[in-house]
């Protein structure tokens, strides 16, 4: 196999997800000498997005456009990406550990009869072999893995590996591969998005999350306002979702999304172990709760004991004055 790494990019609402750029940075850490080849599949115009991948570090990009790739299905994407993999014969593949990545990569690995390291949060140097760090036991511990033989196939957790700086002067070849995407057994007739528009929760650098202490759906309104002034996203604990204060698309925790933002503001969240499993690796955690004995304060870097309906408006005003 050649020293070549394929990076599978992801498109969301016509734009590249940030994890696509993080995957390129991870590929560079795996092998600084390897040729980085981006892969983009879809139904729309991909050339502009391909050029953006190159500006973030890809050496060249291969695209596949087909009407059966308009909406994600593992069968359609799998056919398109496998065709490129077989043509390129790479030494490794890198993709984001997103909802699509978690569904697609095990199936690709099975077709390729190769192993898969999922949910890596860091790539370390280990002599001739890169060392992949991934959380286990709901984030209570970390394990380190190396690949002794065969293809390097890894997914990376979003918002953990910083992307390379964008260089608009970088150029590279963008090629189009024709793949006959057929035999799609799953037909997506309609996509209904319940999640709010704006910053993607799994990639947000700032998250304001509400729990049962928010008390109602209306109680989430100040959280949205705080997230807006911070340029962040809104999340929730399972308790808040179960109480129907918000949609389950916002759920963070062991059975929801796992996030690692730069700043996580937990509002009215007690700190159940299942919730901590989804956010405890955040870089800075701020807890707002009127109960000083809440478990959330045990993991928080900063704690505010007080009524969230009094504290949040004060925070919003202070932040607005700083801007």
Range list of H helices, 44-193: 47-55, 74-88, 99-112
Please name the CATH architecture into which domain 4-176 falls: 3-Layer(aba) Sandwich (3.40)
- Protein fold of 201-322: Rossmann fold (3.40.50)
Spatial strand order of the sheet with 122-126 comes to 122-126, 129-136, 141-145
**Among residues 248, 241, 252, which one has the least CA distance to residue 278?**
252
Question: Does residue 246 have a pLDDT over 80?
Answer: yes
80 confidence band (pLDDT: 50, 70, 90): very high
Out of 69-83, 174-188, 237-251, pick the least confident. 174-188
What is this structure's pTM? 0.84
Q: What is the residue-wise DSSP string for 56-84?
A: TT-SEEEEEE-GGGSS--HHHHHHHHHHH
**Among residues 298, 294, 266, which one has the least CA distance to residue 279?**
266
pLDDT digits (tens, 9 = 90+) for 254-311: 888 999 999 999 999 999 999 999 998 899 999 999 999 999 999 999 999 999 999 9
Residues of the chain with CATH 3.40.50.1220: 201-322
Strand 263-267 to 233-236 pairing = unpaired
Question: Does residue 25 have a pLDDT over 50?
Answer: yes
* Segment 147-153 mean pLDDT: 92
229: its two tokens = 């002034």
Q: Which residue has the higher pLDDT, 137 or 2?
A: 137
Note whether 210 and 245 are within 8 A (CB).
yes
164: Cβ–Cβ under 8 A, 6 or more apart, which residues? 21, 24, 25, 28, 56, 57
Q: What is the per-residue pLDDT for 1?
A: 40
pLDDT digits (tens, 9 = 90+) for 33-60: 999 999 999 988 899 999 999 999 999 9
Q: What is the per-residue pLDDT for 13?
A: 82
pLDDT digits (tens, 9 = 90+) for 182-235: 878 877 777 776 555 567 788 899 999 999 999 999 999 999 999 999 999 999
3-class DSSP assignment, residue 29: helix
Q: What is the per-residue pLDDT for 149?
A: 87
Strand 206-210 to 174-176 pairing = unpaired
- DSSP, res 295: G
Residues of the chain with CATH 3.40.50.620: 4-176
* Segment 77-87 mean pLDDT: 95
């Amino acid at each position: 196999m050649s020293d070549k790494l394929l990076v599978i990019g992801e498109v969301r609402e016509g734009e590249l997800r940030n994890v696509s750029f993080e995957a390129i940075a991870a590929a560079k850490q795996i092998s600084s000498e390897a040729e980085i080849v981006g892969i983009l599949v879809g139904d729309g115009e991909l050339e502009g997005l391909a050029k953006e991948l190159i500006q973030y570090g890809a050496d060249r990009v291969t695209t596949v456009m087909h009407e059966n790739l308009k909406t994600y299905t593992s069968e359609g994407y799998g056919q398109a990406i496998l065709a490129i993999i077989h043509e390129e014969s790479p030494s490794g593949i890198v993709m984001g550990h997103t909802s699509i990545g978690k569904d697609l990569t095990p199936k690709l690995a099975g077709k390729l009869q190769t192993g898969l390291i999922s949910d890596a949060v860091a790539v370390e140097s280990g002599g001739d072999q890169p060392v992949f760090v991934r959380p286990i036991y709901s984030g209570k511990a970390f394990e380190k893995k190396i690949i002794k033989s065969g293809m390097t196939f890894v997914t990376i957790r979003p918002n953990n590996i910083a992307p390379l700086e964008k260089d608009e002067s970088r150029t590279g070849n963008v090629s189009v591969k024709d793949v006959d995407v057929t035999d799609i057994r799953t037909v997506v007739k309609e996509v209904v998005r319940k999640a709010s528009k704006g910053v993607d929760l799994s990639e947000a650098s700032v998250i304001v999350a509400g729990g049962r202490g928010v008390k109602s759906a209306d109680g989430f309104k100040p959280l949205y306002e705080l997230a807006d002034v911070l340029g962040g996203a809104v999340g929730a604990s399972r308790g808040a979702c179960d109480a129907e204060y918000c949609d389950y698309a916002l759920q963070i925790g062991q059975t929801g999304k796992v996030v690692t933002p730069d700043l996580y503001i937990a509002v009215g969240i007690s700190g159940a172990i299942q919730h901590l499993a989804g956010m405890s690796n955040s870089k800075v955690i701020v807890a707002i709760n009127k109960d000083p004995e809440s478990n959330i304060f045990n993991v928080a870097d900063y704690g505010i004991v007080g009524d969230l309906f009094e504290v949040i408006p004060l925070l919003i005003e202070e932040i607005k004055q700083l801007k």
